[in-house]
Amino acid sequence: MRTREGGRIVVDEAAVIARVRAGEAEAYAELVRAFTPVALRAAVAFGAGADAEDVVQQAFFKAYCSLERFRDGAAFQPWLLRIVMNETRNTVRSVVRQRAVAGREAELLAAEPLIPESADPAVAAVELERRALLTAALEALSEEQRQVVTYRYLLEMDEAETAEALGWPRGTVKSRLSRALKKLGRMLPGGPEWEEVSDEHG
């Protein structure tokens, strides 16, 4: 059974996984449909760029092959995104030329339009500039700081999901997130707002 909440496909993960394990391989397509959008956003955010679709396909394949090892009762999304992150890292390492920040920002926007076509052009321009500044600032963070900010805010995962996806203790997520947000607060306009967020999660 699939329903949509806010345009997002929702599935009973445990039921679908049980069906796949029972030999109904075609049921896996329900998980693929439900989690492809967030997997693509994650791949692009972590630097897969034009290879994002290939990365996601490979991640879903590896997840399918590893489904017997998936822990009952766990959330599927953090587990899948951890695989996506590892696949992205492997892909980026194999590419000799690192993609420019501007190119990554364009790909991220193309993966999921965030500004309605009906938006005021001036407002849209300000939003694009803000996102460009944020992306450039993220590039200045360490890889671990960039990962935790991406999961918590760009992918909108909660603290527990972030910890599970990264394989870190929740205390580590809190401390690295706090340091990352403080650093972002010094680099971005509206620094105090970032400081407040970091205090909430620190």
Identify the pLDDT of residue 53.
Answer: 95
CATH of the domain at 143: 1.10.10.10
Whether the Cβ atoms of residue 131 and residue 143 lie closer than 8 Å to each other:
no
DSSP 100: P
Range of the domain at 86: 1-112
| 89 in the same domain as 149 | no
| Terminal C-alpha separation, the chain | 39
The number of distinct structural domains making up the chain is 2
Greatest CA separation for the chain: 54
Q: Are 98 and 46 found together in one domain?
A: yes
Predicted confidence at residue 104, as pLDDT, reads: 56
The answer on 135 and 102 residing in a single domain is: no
The pTM score is 0.67
**CA geometry: angle 104, 110, 112, nearest 5 deg:** 110
CA distance to 16, 22, 89, 186, per residue, from 61 (Å): 16, 18, 17, 41
pLDDT digits (tens, 9 = 90+) for 13-44: 999 999 999 999 999 999 999 999 999 999 99
Where is the domain boundary, 112, 139, 163?
112
Query: What's the pLDDT score for residue 141?
Result: 86
The domain boundary residue, chosen from 64, 91, 112 = 112
- Looking at the fold, whether 91 and 29 belong to one and the same domain comes out as yes
Q: Are residues 15 and 83 in the same domain?
A: yes
Residue 6's Cβ-count burial label (10 Å; 0-12, 13-18, 19+) is exposed
Q: 178: how many CB neighbours lie within 10 A of its CB? A: 19
In a domain, 119, yes or no: no
Residues 145, 65, single domain; the answer is no
In the chain, the percentage of residues whose pLDDT exceeds 70 is 70
What pLDDT score does 127 carry?
63
- Do 201 and 166 sit in the same domain of this protein? yes
**More confidently predicted of 185 and 168:** 168
**Are 69 and 3 part of one and the same domain?**
yes
Match 């896996």 to its residue by tokens. 28
pLDDT range class, residue 90, cuts 50, 70, 90? confident
pLDDT tens readout for residues 97-134: 444 444 555 565 555 544 455 556 666 566 667 767 77
Type of residue found at 53: E
Does any domain span residue 99? yes
pLDDT at 97: 44
Q: What is the CATH number of the domain that holds 92?
A: 1.10.1740.10
At 192 the pLDDT is: 39
